[in-house]
Structure 1
Amino acid sequence: MNTTFIAMGIALLAGVGLVVTIGVVSLLSGGLHFLFARPKLSILKTANGESGFAFSFKWNSSREPAKFDNIRIRLFNPFGSPTQVDLTRSYDTATSTFARDLDFGEDLKNLMNAEGIANASVEVEVMSSKEGIAHHFMFKGQKFLDLYKSATVLAETFNEENALNYPKPVFTNPKRSFIADALPVSNKALKISSNPEFAGEFAGAGGSGEAAKENFAVSKVWIEDGCIVCDACEAIFPEVFEVTDDTCIIRPGAPLDNGLLVEEAADACPVEVIKFAKA
């Protein structure tokens, strides 16, 4: 009895320890991400003069997949004039670290030259209109102006230095076909009763009890619709039949004096599309 209680106690302590360990690891992971992996916005040098605003945005796109396509700049200036300015611009969608240089026109000039901006606050918001995700960054007015005027890196330069050069995967599709592979070329003859070369072996005492068939000539051979390119005819009489990728044709100048082989090829055709006329 005492042994049972001891075992249950050890199991309970182990379970509690496991839960506590998982919780601590989760908190540490979240803390590290908050401290070192938070989204980061940087103000860059614009190429659009006084009406331009350039910025870069870094975030963990694998942890937070999103398509960012909008930016909003707001001035909160309760002791100056104007008291508020709200600017929004859209740009081509970005799914990983990126930089953009946008033209805000005269509205940005009004914001930058606002009376009392040094004591105001400026909020920059990077947004994903489709996912409804937004990241906010607050600046003191004077700090915002200093960063804007002292920026030296262009958006184009930032994008070149931070481009993600993932190797393109190569996918090879196996070749599949319902058509059988062509039979290997061989100089061996089929030992059948319709082959004149072996006709004597099948006549009379040859075992079949039947006389050898008399060969004949044909005046015309043709292929009707429905060929499945099985190669049976070409294997029997390659001098007459040629199997292509999608059908079978009669070779130009084909010999038509061996009607037995033509007939055998027609009999071997599984879809019965080989037709001929005796001469």
Structure 2
Amino acid sequence: MNTTFIAMGVALLAGVGLVITVGVFSLLSGAFHFLFARPKFTILKTAKDSNGFAFSLKWNSSREPAKFDSIRLRLYNPFSNPTQVDVTRTFDAASSTFARDLDFGKNLEELLGACNNDAASVEVELTASKDALVHHFMFKAKRFKSLYDAATGDVEKFNEDNALNYAKPLYHTPKRSFIAEPLPASNKALKIASNPEFAGAFAGSAADAAPVENFAVSKVWIEPGCIVCDACEAIYPEVFEVTDDSCIIRPGAPLDNGVLVEEAAEACPVEVIKFTKA
């Protein structure tokens, strides 16, 4: 009995320890994400007039792929006028860390003018409309105004520093991959028409060649081993007929053109066409 209680106690302690360990790791993971991995919104210095608002957004685009394309500024000012200012602007969609400088018109002046109230707050809402993703950033109105007035970051410089470099090759390919080594040097000259050394040998044309004298054959036959390649029938169809499994000599075939018969015999890859001259 005592052994059973001891075993149960050990198992219980092990289970409690496991739960505590998992909880601690979960808290640490959440804290890490909150401190280092959550999106970061920064107010930058606008290059426009008093209606301009510049900002940047950094986030883990590989973990959270999205194309942000709009920003919304909302003032909540319950104890003074205006009680609320709500203005939205769209921009070219960005799928990774980016900065924009936008013209918010007179609404921005109205929003900033109401930021002196201690009870007021400003919400910044960045939206990726096609991905149904929204990031919210809350500021005390006075804090928002002070960040706007003290902003120093430059939009163009920010985008330049955070631009993805697609120029770097993903793979390195050796310069001579798939290229054979050059042939070893040789003193032998190739006897081809493009070689000037043998140009004279190829100067004649087919018209200058001596005509071939035709002859008749007395007999032509096919020996066993035909592979039905159709070469003979293509050359002299009046004599040769290729069947499904062999070749035959057509009945009453003309035997007066020995040149074509000889050509068919020479074209036969298995040399089964035989003939005798008349």
TM-score of the superposed pair, with normalisation by structure 2 = 0.56
Gaps of 5+ in 2: 174-222, 225-231, 237-259, 273-278
Map residues 40-189 of structure 1 onto 2, 5 A cutoff.
40-112=40-112, 114=113, 116-119=114-117, 120-165=120-165, 169-170=170-171
Aligned pair partner of 2:269 in 230, 247, 264: 264
Match of 1:17 in 2: 17
Q: Is the 8 A contact 2:44 2:55 kept in 1?
A: yes
Amino acid at match of 1:161: D
Would the alpha carbon gap of residues 57 and 260 (structure 1) be closer, same or farther in structure 2, given more than 3 Å must change?
same
**What secondary structure is seen at the aligned counterpart in 2 of 1:109?**
helix
Q: CA deviation at 1:220?
A: 7.1
Larger radius of gyration: 2
**What secondary structure is seen at the aligned counterpart in 2 of 1:46?**
coil
Measured in 1, the distance between the counterparts of 2:41 and 2:129 equals 18
Match of 2:200 in 1: none
Q: Is the 8 A contact 2:77 2:83 kept in 1?
A: yes
TM-score of the superposed pair, with normalisation by structure 1 = 0.56
Measured in 2, the distance between the counterparts of 1:8 and 1:96 equals 53
Q: CA deviation at 1:135?
A: 2.1
Would the alpha carbon gap of residues 8 and 84 (structure 1) be closer, same or farther in structure 2, given more than 3 Å must change?
closer
Measured in 1, the distance between the counterparts of 2:261 and 2:108 equals 90
Q: CA deviation at 1:95?
A: 2.5
Amino acid at match of 1:30: G
Would the alpha carbon gap of residues 128 and 10 (structure 1) be closer, same or farther in structure 2, given more than 3 Å must change?
same
Amino acid at match of 1:262: A
**What secondary structure is seen at the aligned counterpart in 2 of 1:17?**
helix
Gaps of 5+ in 1: 173-209, 212-217, 223-254, 268-279
Q: CA deviation at 1:83?
A: 2.6
Amino acid at match of 2:60: N
Residue identity (%): 61
Would the alpha carbon gap of residues 106 and 263 (structure 1) be closer, same or farther in structure 2, given more than 3 Å must change?
same
Measured in 2, the distance between the counterparts of 1:149 and 1:266 equals 97
Measured in 1, the distance between the counterparts of 2:90 and 2:36 equals 28
**What secondary structure is seen at the aligned counterpart in 2 of 1:90?**
strand
Would the alpha carbon gap of residues 79 and 8 (structure 1) be closer, same or farther in structure 2, given more than 3 Å must change?
closer
**What secondary structure is seen at the aligned counterpart in 2 of 1:264?**
coil
Would the alpha carbon gap of residues 161 and 8 (structure 1) be closer, same or farther in structure 2, given more than 3 Å must change?
same
Measured in 2, the distance between the counterparts of 1:35 and 1:142 equals 24
Measured in 2, the distance between the counterparts of 1:4 and 1:171 equals 64
Map residues 199-238 of structure 1 onto 2, 5 A cutoff.
221=235
Measured in 2, the distance between the counterparts of 1:56 and 1:256 equals 86
Match of 1:192 in 2: none
Q: CA deviation at 1:36?
A: 3.2
Q: CA deviation at 1:47?
A: 2.1
Would the alpha carbon gap of residues 159 and 265 (structure 1) be closer, same or farther in structure 2, given more than 3 Å must change?
farther
Q: CA deviation at 1:71?
A: 0.6
RMSD: 3.7
Q: CA deviation at 1:61?
A: 2.9
Q: Is the 8 A contact 1:118 1:140 kept in 2?
A: no
